[in-house]
């Protein structure tokens, strides 16, 4: 039987297990990336593994999230990360260079390779035909130490592309359409693989926008074939030597197939406050807009900013709108400037910022009260912008710029002719600030600021577990709910005791105090619990407060893996209707837990408020050992 692109790459990297859907497999990781907000913890974990140098083909340490320096904390972390990169043999990309995913695509991505990144948008690399997966920092630390990455062999969702995009419709609309069809949990357990005649109509950066935003489907990752368009992109980067062709065999089998005819797509928009709340732009056109942000790892490539600049030529941004540009990378900025396209942006009234994540993770750019903010970002979870009760819409750069001009949500087709633009055959590389690894870093001293707290240690799982239901949450709880980000909290990412004060802040202002008083706690949740970011802090900080069990209807992939890594028991309801029987504040007992874990039992009885509730523990044998030990680091030390 023929193979898909996914199966070809997985087969070439398989080191443990068999490629049977639903079974755990271990794969070799060729490349890793970290960003600063998850990276500090990942490197503290890497240090504790005790390996003198990274074991991958290429590992890059980026600083792109925590760019505001309102006190010493972020600046200290930047210097810590630079010294780590020098000591352990990594590339280092300093603040101002741009977003990890965009730079990785430009300077490091290679078709056919595996990439593991401590950020959920790592699948951006799938645009180049890589198998690029987001994971918690500890999993990335293990991969840097040369250990396999373990995942459940996913099913493959084929997306057949036909036709060609119409003017003013772009790559982002493809994924908005898929989110409309499948929702934020529709992709859980799948790798999305694109095929069909429409693939050749999309450039490598268009494809990367799609695989990036595919994270919002809950998918393990998304991948495009590597073809002539991939080669063209790599050639423009002066990196054609790393091109290999990887396409699915004609008789490849997909577990599911959906078809998208590119020529029938219209401009789409995700309404507040979930990426799958998608409608056609024409349905919400006319709503007044106060802020428009173009940027983020989804849509801030040179192509995206060129469309914006060309559309703005001879036009002005509405006085009612703050129109802001967050370039994806220094390369994008350099090339935009060299092409003479910076002037139309500035002249039309855009606020041009340094390259980086910025407002996408609430590092500034919070919108005004009661106003609409339009963003080309991948997420609009409630409050993520930094403004409580925000109204954030997600759209393409085309919709963004059209709306910035008129001051209201606008279908860009109303602007008339689509501007012509061509991308350079050769880009200025824009990588002058990327530090290559040192040949020998053994003499380098790690610079540790006072913000870096030691890594907490956790006890093994007890024989019988007893605790309290600390919180009962609903469906689609995001890691932004569990461990919020933003300019105030992000600087505490390397300090677990300090950041744990903010756990579940938006759902219960006094959660940390309640958790400490209770001693040991359980969280109850609905479907797709822990969707969104890869931040392991959403497992680590609650664990620090005593949260040791989660009982939900279903989990998002990365969060479940992070829970296991930090010794939190991930249970699902055997009968989802039992969710309604659980009361916040109830006492919980799980008798004989250690024995159940060790014996491989899937069915676990949880006594909640004196009533027996049946739960399921769906984990591998390796996971059971990790849970018994109280987490992956404890387990690794004992092996
Ligand atoms: C995000 O977009 O939510 C983030 C911020 O990039 C996170 C990582 C983090 O929380 O540091 C992600 O996507 O994994
Ligand atoms: Fe940065 Fe936003 Fe991309 Fe996350 S989604 S990596 S915060 S740009």
In DSSP notation, 186-214 reads TTTTEEEEEESGGGGGS-HHHHHHHHHHG
Buried b (16+ CB within 10 A) or exposed e, 601-632: eeebebebeeeebebbbebeeebbebbbbbbb
Same domain, 291 and 260: no
State pLDDT tens for residues 423-481.
999 999 999 999 999 999 999 999 999 989 988 999 999 999 999 999 999 999 999 99
In DSSP notation, 135-178 reads --HHHHHHHHTTPPEEEE--EEEEEEEES-PPTT--HHHHHHHH
Same domain, 513 and 383: no
Integer Cα distance of 504 and 608 in angstroms: 22
Q: How many domains does the chain have?
A: 3
Q: Tell me if 212 is assigned to some domain.
A: yes
Range of the domain at 300: 277-413
For residue 360 and ligand 2, the question of a CB distance below 6 A is answered with yes
Atom of ligand 2 nearest to the CA of 379: 5
Nearest CA-CA partner of 91 in 57, 60, 55: 60
Single out the residue in 229, 264, 299 at which a domain terminates: 264
Q: Tell me if 144 is assigned to some domain.
A: yes
Same domain, 536 and 632: yes
Interval between CA 356 and ligand 2 midpoint (Å): 8
CA atoms within 13 A on the CB side of 238: 7
Q: Tell me the CATH number at 587.
A: 3.20.19.10
535 is catalytic: yes
Is the confidence at residue 95, as pLDDT, over 80? Answer: yes
Same domain, 338 and 238: no
- Which of 102, 359, 378 to mutate for ligand 2's pocket (most ligand atoms within 8 Å of CB)? 378
SS3 242: helix
Q: Tell me if 50 is assigned to some domain.
A: yes
Integer Cα distance of 46 and 633 in angstroms: 10
Q: Tell me the CATH number at 58.
A: 3.30.499.10
Single out the residue in 204, 229, 264 at which a domain terminates: 264
For residue 378 and ligand 2, the question of a CB distance below 6 A is answered with yes
The whole-chain average pLDDT of the chain stands at 97
- Which of 37, 63, 65, 299 to mutate for ligand 2's pocket (most ligand atoms within 8 Å of CB)? 65
64 is catalytic: yes
Kindly indicate the confidence band of residue 638, based on its pLDDT and cuts at 50, 70 and 90: confident
Q: Tell me if 271 is assigned to some domain.
A: no
CA-angle at 448, arms to 143 and 501, nearest 5°: 80
Kindly indicate the confidence band of residue 161, based on its pLDDT and cuts at 50, 70 and 90: very high
State pLDDT tens for residues 45-85.
999 999 999 999 999 999 999 999 999 999 999 999 999 99
* Start-end of H helices in 484-554: 496-499, 511-518, 537-544
Integer Cα distance of 55 and 12 in angstroms: 18
624 is catalytic: no
Single out the residue in 378, 413, 448 at which a domain terminates: 413
Q: Point out the ligand nearest to the CA of residue 377.
A: 2
| Beta bridge partners of residue 529, listed in sequence order | 555
Are 591 and 606 contacting, i.e. CB atoms less than 8 angstroms apart? no
Same domain, 110 and 187: yes
Same domain, 282 and 252: no
Same domain, 327 and 178: no
Integer Cα distance of 382 and 388 in angstroms: 7
For residue 481 and ligand 1, the question of a CB distance below 6 A is answered with no
Average pLDDT over residues 231-241: 98
Nearest CA-CA partner of 399 in 489, 559, 287: 287
- Strand bridging mode 569-573 / 14-16: unpaired
Q: Tell me how far CA of residue 53 lies from CA of 13, 46, 437, 439, 456, in angstroms.
A: 21, 10, 10, 10, 24
Kindly indicate the confidence band of residue 1, based on its pLDDT and cuts at 50, 70 and 90: confident
Are 620 and 24 contacting, i.e. CB atoms less than 8 angstroms apart? yes
Interval between CA 321 and ligand 1 midpoint (Å): 27
Interval between CA 119 and ligand 1 midpoint (Å): 5
Task: Provide the percentage of residues in the chain whose pLDDT is more than 70.
Answer: 100
Same domain, 373 and 224: no
Same domain, 554 and 626: yes
Q: What are phi and psi of 66, to 5 degrees?
A: -90, 75
């Amino acid at each position: 039987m023929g193979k898909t692109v996914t199966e070809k790459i997985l087969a070439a990297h398989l080191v443990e297990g068999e490629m049977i859907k639903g079974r755990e497999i271990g794969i070799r990781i060729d490349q890793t990336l970290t960003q600063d907000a998850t990276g500090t913890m990942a490197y503290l974990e890497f240090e504790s593994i005790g390996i003198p140098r990274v074991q991958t083909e290429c590992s890059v340490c980026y600083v792109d999230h925590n760019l505001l320096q309102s006190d010493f904390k972020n600046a200290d972390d930047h210097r810590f990360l630079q010294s780590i990169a020098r000591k352990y043999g990594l590339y280092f990309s300093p603040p101002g260079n741009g977003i990890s995913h965009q730079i990785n695509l430009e300077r490091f991505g290679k078709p056919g390779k595996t990439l593991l990144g401590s950020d959920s948008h790592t699948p951006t690399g799938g645009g180049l035909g890589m198998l690029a997966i987001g994971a918690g920092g500890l999993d990335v630390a293990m991969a840097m130490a040369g250990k396999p990455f373990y995942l459940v062999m996913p099913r493959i969702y084929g997306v057949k592309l036909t036709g060609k995009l119409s003017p003013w419709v772009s790559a982002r609309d493809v994924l908005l359409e898929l989110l409309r069809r499948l929702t934020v949990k529709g992709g859980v357990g799948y790798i999305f693989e694109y095929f069909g005649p429409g693939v050749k109509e999309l450039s490598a950066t268009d494809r990367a926008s799609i695989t990036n935003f595919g994270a919002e489907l809950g998918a393990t990752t998304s991948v495009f074939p590597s073809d002539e368009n991939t080669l063209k992109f790599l050639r423009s980067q002066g990196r054609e030597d790393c091109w290999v062709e990887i396409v699915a065999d004609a008789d490849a089998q997909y577990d599911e197939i959906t078809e998208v005819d590119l020529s029938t797509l219209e401009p789409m928009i995700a309404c507040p406050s979930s990426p799958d709340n998608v409608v056609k732009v024409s349905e919400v056109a006319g709503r007044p807009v106060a802020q428009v942000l173009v940027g983020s790892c989804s849509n801030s490539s040179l192509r995206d900013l060129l469309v914006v600049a060309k559309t703005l030529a001879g036009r002005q941004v509405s006085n009612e709108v703050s129109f802001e540009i967050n370039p994806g990378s220094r390369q994008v900025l350099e090339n935009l400037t060299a092409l003479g396209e910076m002037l139309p942006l500035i002249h039309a009234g855009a606020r041009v910022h340094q390259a980086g994540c910025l407002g996408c993770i609430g590092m500034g750019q919070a919108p005004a009260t009661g106003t609409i903010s339009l963003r080309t970002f991948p997420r609009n979870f409630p409050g993520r912008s930094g403004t409580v009760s925000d109204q954030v819409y997600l759209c393409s750069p085309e919709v963004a710029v059209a709306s910035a001009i008129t001051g209201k949500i606008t279908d860009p087709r109303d602007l008339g002719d689509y501007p012509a633009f061509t991308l350079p055959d050769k880009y200025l590389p824009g990588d002058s600030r990327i530090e290559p690894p040192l040949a020998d870093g053994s003499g380098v001293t790690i610079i540790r600021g006072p913000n870096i707290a030691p890594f907490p240690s956790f006890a093994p799982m007890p024989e019988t577990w007893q605790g309290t239901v600390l919180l009962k949450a609903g469906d689609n709880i995001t890691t932004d709910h569990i461990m919020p980000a933003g300019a105030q909290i992000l600087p505490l990412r390397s300090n677990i005791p300090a950041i744990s004060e903010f756990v579940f802040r938006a759902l219960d202002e006094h959660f940390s105090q309640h958790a400490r008083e209770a001693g040991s706690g359980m969280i109850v949740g609905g479907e797709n619990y822990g969707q969104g970011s890869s931040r392991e802090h959403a497992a680590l900080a609650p664990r620090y407060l005593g949260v040791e069990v989660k009982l939900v209807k279903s989990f998002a992939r990365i969060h479940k893996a992070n829970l296991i890594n930090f010794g939190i028991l991930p249970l699902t309801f055997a009968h989802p209707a039992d969710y309604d029987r659980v009361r916040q504040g109830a006492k919980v007992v799980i008798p004989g837990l250690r024995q159940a874990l060790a014996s491989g039992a899937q069915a676990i009885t949880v006594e909640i408020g004196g009533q027996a509730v049946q739960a399921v523990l769906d984990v591998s044998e390796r996971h059971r050992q990790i849970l018994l030990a109280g987490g992956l680091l404890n387990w690794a030390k004992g092996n």
